[in-house]
Chain A
Amino acid sequence: MRPTRRELLALSSALLWAPGLPVRAAEGDSSRKFLFVFAEGGWDQTRLFAPLFGSSRVDMEAEAVERVVRDLPFVDHPDRPSVRAFLDRYGDRTSFINGFECRSVAHDVCLRLAMTGTPMPAADDWPSLIGAATGASLLLPVIQLSGPSYTHLNGSVVVRVGEKGQLPDLISGEALLRSDQLLTATPVHMEQMEDAFVAERVLRRAAEAERGRAAAMLARAREVSERVERVAEAAEALEFGATESLDDGLALLIDAFSKGLARCGMVKHVGWQHLGYDSHADIPQQSRNFEELFAALHLAMELLEATPGEVSARLADEVTIVVMSEMGRYPLLNSRGGKDHWTYTSAILIGSGVRGGIAVGGYDEQCAGQRVDLSTGEVSDAGVSMVPDNLGATLLALAGVDPTEHFPNAAPIDALLA
């Protein structure tokens, strides 16, 4: 006698959590969402985070001045009104992490370090760790619109949209039209029959599988086939199509949060006119980038404030925005009017769970990161040198996940936790 679908489901669920398989984090209870914005290429800390006026070892820009919002110092400039406007309005919910170090100057190594804490490939990045720990049961736990994405054990929680937004076409079937051969979409009711058949088949295979990786793989396939059956409706609601600009990308991710579909989202800021942040020449590009970035963040915050949350009146109270770049820029100008790579960099945390209006850590007169007391955020010789693991631990703590399992040697930055 063949087992029923219910029996198969029960059996394959048991197999999914079979002992001995690579351990994934158990789902936590936090409803906090994380919106990652990645400024890829290496931003110039002297355009925002490091007001090192007066240092002969640092080239600051003309007309820039130091301003302070609450206890948050920043570099202000007439060309960046959006930065000023954002911090004037949201500075009380914004904090900087200054002077943490990705110990390399190669983009690929620093990217991986900034996102995972290690240069090695066998690691999951912050969004996938959080997604697996607190949102694995969601339809689209981690939406990666663009930007870096590193997965190891938790690849199944990451839903990549593709460089040109390929995911919606896959979901709708329009992908078939992107073929040199003439193809037609399968009629919807036929497709539903196909999906149901496949779901049943996968269920059977999962139940038949022996323990070990075969069982784990097929249990995952079962879970995925159920998502395939549900994803079209969600995609239609999300309007995946329009994500060309940073504004659109942020809006889509916020929409996904509001619909309870995702726990994390990642979007890359490609810079003004898509010129990026890797300014080996033309350092003024950095200023244009920050201006555009903060204009987009401003819109995102307004949208979050206007959107009801899952458990709060405003989604703004449930979303933490994490803005980061894999490296900083060398403090002195090079011969081409640009700045080269620098291992020290900063990150920005905004919103839910964040103690705003402060800057943690700092830069010395050579623009090197300084030791910091993680409990107060103050620069202190008795403190620690911050590395990406401290950021990762902080994010996990914000997500309600015990960071010690992942970062036994790096503490969260308690000063940032509201």
Chain B
Amino acid sequence: MILALLLACAEPAPAPQPAPEEVEEVVTPVAPPFEGAPLDALALLRRASLDLRGVLPSLDEVAAVEADPAAVDALIAGFVDDPRYERRLVDLFAEHYLTRVEVFNLFATDFDLPPEQDFAYRRSVGEEPLRLLARVAVEDRPWTDAVTTDQTLANPLLLSIWPLEDVGEPADAEGWRPARYTDGRPAGGAVMTNGLWWRYYTTANNYNRSRAAALSRLFLCEDFLTRPISFEAVAILDRESLNEAIQTIPACVGCHSTLDPLAASLFGFWWFDIYTPVELNSYHAEREQMGPYYLETEMAWFGEPMADPADLGPLLAADPRYTRCAVEVAAKALWRRPVELADFATVSALAARFEEGGLRHKALVRAILEGEDYRVGGLLPEAGAEAEARLSTRRMLSPEQMESAVADLTGFIWRYGGYDQLTNDVYGYRVLAGGMDGQSVTRPEAEPTLTQALVMKRLAQAAAQHVVHEDFFGTEGRRLLAGVSMDDRPGDAGFEAALLALHRRLFSRSPTEDELEEARALWQKVHDGGGVNQAWASLIAVLLRDPSFWTI
């Protein structure tokens, strides 16, 4: 049974005939004048550190940049070699690939996993393709490897439930290691992962067309759904009639002539039942030829024939749009805004550098970090309304950044029953904190919301309570309250030194005298009613809620 319309397309307009003199004209894209003003060196250090490492710069790094602002460039260029960078890339890729969802067709219980592994199961499945992409990036392999390698990345949980073999390379701190599927699927990097196609599954009526559209959207940054619909669907109830319509009606052909041959190459992931592990776990090589049969078209990559699905990865990697899309994805993630037409020249220049450098992702990220769009912190006086609306002069920390930054500062990670509370939606606060669930919320919140502020408030209270207790009574050394005793009061040297260090640590700059004065006043007020511990806890909590902390 077939539906009349699977993806609608625009009717192609007849191409206008250019005048002879127009044929020779070559249009070189030129970036419009940049109307933003750059961040100062300390703010840039802070932004880059949180973006690429997920933590605040250390006091030593802050001091180094204070002493020599020019030192910031070398410092932030090195952040892509930091061990924490890979984890950040996973978070940033999640914003584009949207695989870190809460619901898959199979649950942890389908694999007899205990309830406390439910969160780990969801995240492991969703992060599989993201981990692979991140690993290719941090190992500085050509970006084509991301869609051509015969390996994936897996952790012990995935190794235990999917047909995977450990290829014997070391695991990272979280247990992720290179692995290879043993079910005969062709090499294809991220496009041959279960994680990707569990997220983007297809229905019996859709014949992988939605997956083909996802492939185009995710890896080429070309979305079939952006094309205007210029016709009405008609009810066609059988597959043959639908295929005929798709292949003959001009309005349909515009999309389906490329979409369907691509969909035809994905039938190794075709499941007869979308809710059973035996179907979903494995690639089904024997079903590959069902695509051409059902869709009545041969496999092809935008007009280039494919012999079989093994051609998919190499053809994708060779497509110039793949390179440009990688640039757009990285730019969008680091600029914290959509890539728009006005960015055409900038993206083109970045893509050219990316290609010249052998498609190394680290170099791409460094190039973005050097650019004005990343470093923008204000507007020039002559900036117009367009720049005012578009340029990300200030960005809000994502829940993932908040979690890692607070953990690094205070040692506190908000966990409950196996769930990271800032990064799940089942029991936790990911979307409420301004994050995305990958399905109904597909972009991070750009501005504060009531729930974001409430999550921040509770996180700040929890983390502050934890760090005060650990710093005063723990045995592992102090994190935020170095050198201060429980007897120190405002005006005492120990107190004042701790207060100053606290501000510098959280804000990556020295506080103003007003800020210090307000902090002393709050500390004293809380102390008078609640004692020393509560005074420090409240002070740390409010500084974590200060926009100077949660914006970059």
Q: Which residues of A contact B (CB under 8 A)?
A: 2, 18-22, 57, 101, 103-106, 108-109, 111, 119-122, 140, 148-152, 155-156, 158-160, 162-164, 166-167, 170-171, 173, 175-176, 178-181, 183-184, 186-187, 189-191, 193-195, 197-198, 200-202, 205, 209-214, 216-218, 220-221, 224-225, 227-228, 231, 280, 330-332, 334, 340-343, 364, 366-368, 385
Residues on A with beta carbons closer than 8 Å to the beta carbon of B182: none
Which A-chain residue is minimally distant from B436 (CB atoms)?
A121
Residues on B with beta carbons closer than 8 Å to the beta carbon of A158: 449
What is the CB-to-nearest-CB distance from A4 to chain B, in angstroms, rounded to a whole number?
14
| CB of B493 within 8 Å of the partner chain | no
Take A156-B447, A180-B417 as given contacts and tell me if A105 and B454 are in contact as well, using a CB distance cutoff of 8 Å. no
Q: Is the CB of A179 within 8 A of B462?
A: yes
* 16 A-B contacts (beta carbon < 8 Å): A18-B388, A20-B385, A21-B388, A103-B229, A105-B205, A151-B445, A155-B447, A200-B518, A201-B547, A211-B388, A213-B388, A213-B393, A218-B547, A220-B448, A364-B235, A368-B234
Q: Is the CB of B453 within 8 A of A228?
A: yes
Contact of A166 among B432, B441, B525 (CB under 8 A): B432
B376-401 near A? 1/0 per residue, CB < 8 Å: 01110001111111011110100000
A162 to B453, alpha carbons, bound, how many Å? 15
Residues on B with beta carbons closer than 8 Å to the beta carbon of A22: 389
Residues on A with beta carbons closer than 8 Å to the beta carbon of B450: 140, 156, 159, 224, 227-228, 231
| CB of B5 within 8 Å of the partner chain | yes
Which B-chain residue is minimally distant from A232 (CB atoms)?
B454
Q: Is the CB of B394 within 8 A of A179?
A: no
Residues on A with beta carbons closer than 8 Å to the beta carbon of B243: none
Which A-chain residue is minimally distant from B396 (CB atoms)?
A217
Take A106-B203, A148-B440, A166-B427 as given contacts and tell me if A160 and B432 are in contact as well, using a CB distance cutoff of 8 Å. yes
What is the CB-to-nearest-CB distance from B450 to chain A, in angstroms, rounded to a whole number?
5
Q: Is the CB of B542 within 8 A of A184?
A: no
For the complex of A and B, the 6 pairs showing the least CB-CB separation, nearest first, are A20-B385, A214-B394, A368-B235, A20-B388, A170-B454, A366-B235
What is the CB-to-nearest-CB distance from A153 to chain B, in angstroms, rounded to a whole number?
9
Q: Is the CB of B389 within 8 A of A213?
A: yes
Residues on B with beta carbons closer than 8 Å to the beta carbon of A122: 338
Residues on B with beta carbons closer than 8 Å to the beta carbon of A181: 412, 415, 462, 466
| CB of B526 within 8 Å of the partner chain | yes
Which B-chain residue is minimally distant from A152 (CB atoms)?
B443
Q: Is the CB of A340 within 8 A of B394?
A: no
Take A20-B388, A158-B449, A224-B448 as given contacts and tell me if A190 and B547 are in contact as well, using a CB distance cutoff of 8 Å. no
Q: Is the CB of B529 within 8 A of A190?
A: yes
B430-457 near A? 1/0 per residue, CB < 8 Å: 0110000001111101111111111101
What is the CB-to-nearest-CB distance from B506 to chain A, in angstroms, rounded to a whole number?
12
Q: Which residues of B contact A (CB under 8 A)?
A: 1, 3-8, 203-206, 210, 223, 225-226, 229, 232-235, 237, 338, 377-379, 383-389, 391-394, 396, 412, 414-417, 421, 425-429, 431-432, 439-443, 445-455, 457-458, 461-462, 465-466, 514, 518, 522, 525-526, 529-530, 534, 537-538, 541-542, 545-548, 551
Which A-chain residue is minimally distant from B386 (CB atoms)?
A20
Residues on A with beta carbons closer than 8 Å to the beta carbon of B204: 280, 334, 340
Contact of B465 among A109, A184, A340, A343 (CB under 8 A): A184
A162 to B433, alpha carbons, bound, how many Å? 11
Which A-chain residue is minimally distant from B548 (CB atoms)?
A205
Q: Is the CB of B210 within 8 A of A109?
A: yes
Contact of A366 among B237, B392, B548 (CB under 8 A): B237
What is the CB-to-nearest-CB distance from B157 to chain A, in angstroms, rounded to a whole number?
20
User: Is chain A's interface secondary structure helix, strand, loop, or mixed overall?
Assistant: loop
Which A-chain residue is minimally distant from B390 (CB atoms)?
A213
What is the CB-to-nearest-CB distance from A343 to chain B, in angstroms, rounded to a whole number?
6
Which B-chain residue is minimally distant from A197 (CB atoms)?
B542
A165 to B266, alpha carbons, bound, how many Å? 39
Residues on A with beta carbons closer than 8 Å to the beta carbon of B414: 179
Residues on B with beta carbons closer than 8 Å to the beta carbon of A209: 394
A343 to B465, alpha carbons, bound, how many Å? 53
Residues on B with beta carbons closer than 8 Å to the beta carbon of A105: 3, 5-6, 203, 205-206
Residues on A with beta carbons closer than 8 Å to the beta carbon of B547: 201-202, 205, 217-218, 221
Take A160-B431, A334-B1 as given contacts and tell me if A190 and B439 are in contact as well, using a CB distance cutoff of 8 Å. no
Take A20-B388, A104-B7 as given contacts and tell me if A2 and B448 are in contact as well, using a CB distance cutoff of 8 Å. no
Residues on A with beta carbons closer than 8 Å to the beta carbon of B426: 163-164
Residues on B with beta carbons closer than 8 Å to the beta carbon of A213: 388-389, 391-394, 446
Q: Is the CB of A166 within 8 A of B229?
A: no
Contact of B546 among A163, A205, A224 (CB under 8 A): A205
Q: Is the CB of B379 within 8 A of A212?
A: yes
Residues on A with beta carbons closer than 8 Å to the beta carbon of B3: 105, 330, 340-343
A147 to B1, alpha carbons, bound, how many Å? 29
What is the CB-to-nearest-CB distance from A266 to chain B, in angstroms, rounded to a whole number?
11
Q: Is the CB of B205 within 8 A of A341?
A: yes
Q: Is the CB of B458 within 8 A of A103?
A: no
Take A21-B388, A198-B545 as given contacts and tell me if A217 and B225 are in contact as well, using a CB distance cutoff of 8 Å. no
Which A-chain residue is minimally distant from B424 (CB atoms)?
A163
Contact of B542 among A170, A201, A212 (CB under 8 A): A201
Take A2-B514, A211-B379, A213-B392 as given contacts and tell me if A175 and B458 are in contact as well, using a CB distance cutoff of 8 Å. yes
What is the CB-to-nearest-CB distance from A406 to chain B, in angstroms, rounded to a whole number?
17
Q: Which of A180, A183, A197 has its CB near the most chain B CB atoms (within 10 A)? A: A197
Q: Is the CB of A170 within 8 A of B440?
A: no
User: Given A334-B204, A341-B205, list of 8 further CB < 8 A pairs?
Assistant: A19-B388, A105-B6, A121-B442, A179-B414, A186-B538, A190-B530, A218-B394, A368-B233
A195 to B416, alpha carbons, bound, how many Å? 25
Residues on B with beta carbons closer than 8 Å to the beta carbon of A18: 388
What is the CB-to-nearest-CB distance from B257 to chain A, in angstroms, rounded to a whole number?
18
A158 to B392, alpha carbons, bound, how many Å? 22
What is the CB-to-nearest-CB distance from A95 to chain B, in angstroms, rounded to a whole number?
23
Residues on A with beta carbons closer than 8 Å to the beta carbon of B392: 213
Contact of B432 among A162, A200, A231 (CB under 8 A): A162
Q: Is the CB of A170 within 8 A of B338?
A: no
Residues on A with beta carbons closer than 8 Å to the beta carbon of B5: 103-105, 343
Take A193-B522, A193-B525, A201-B546 as given contacts and tell me if A120 and B225 are in contact as well, using a CB distance cutoff of 8 Å. yes
Q: Is the CB of B421 within 8 A of A228?
A: no
Q: Is the CB of A332 within 8 A of B237?
A: yes
Contact of A103 among B8, B421, B445 (CB under 8 A): B8
Which A-chain residue is minimally distant from B519 (CB atoms)?
A197
Residues on A with beta carbons closer than 8 Å to the beta carbon of B461: 173, 176, 183, 186, 191, 194
Residues on A with beta carbons closer than 8 Å to the beta carbon of B388: 18-21, 211-213
A171 to B425, alpha carbons, bound, how many Å? 17
Residues on B with beta carbons closer than 8 Å to the beta carbon of A364: 235
Which B-chain residue is minimally distant from A147 (CB atoms)?
B440
Residues on A with beta carbons closer than 8 Å to the beta carbon of B417: 180
Q: Is the CB of B203 within 8 A of A176?
A: no
Take A159-B450, A187-B530 as given contacts and tell me if A341 and B203 are in contact as well, using a CB distance cutoff of 8 Å. yes
Residues on B with beta carbons closer than 8 Å to the beta carbon of A220: 447-448
Residues on A with beta carbons closer than 8 Å to the beta carbon of B378: 210, 212, 214
Q: Is the CB of A178 within 8 A of B233?
A: no
Q: Is the CB of B462 within 8 A of A176?
A: yes
Residues on B with beta carbons closer than 8 Å to the beta carbon of A103: 5, 8, 229, 233
Take A217-B448, A330-B3 as given contacts and tell me if A179 and B237 are in contact as well, using a CB distance cutoff of 8 Å. no
Residues on B with beta carbons closer than 8 Å to the beta carbon of A186: 461, 465, 534, 537-538, 541
A385 to B546, alpha carbons, bound, how many Å? 51
Q: Which of B234, B425, B445, B446 has its CB near the most chain A CB atoms (within 10 A)? A: B446
Which A-chain residue is minimally distant from B414 (CB atoms)?
A179
Which B-chain residue is minimally distant from A174 (CB atoms)?
B458
Q: Is the CB of B205 within 8 A of A340?
A: yes
Which B-chain residue is minimally distant from A218 (CB atoms)?
B547
What is the CB-to-nearest-CB distance from B125 to chain A, in angstroms, rounded to a whole number?
17
Residues on A with beta carbons closer than 8 Å to the beta carbon of B8: 103
Q: Is the CB of B440 within 8 A of A198?
A: no
Residues on A with beta carbons closer than 8 Å to the beta carbon of B534: 186-187, 190
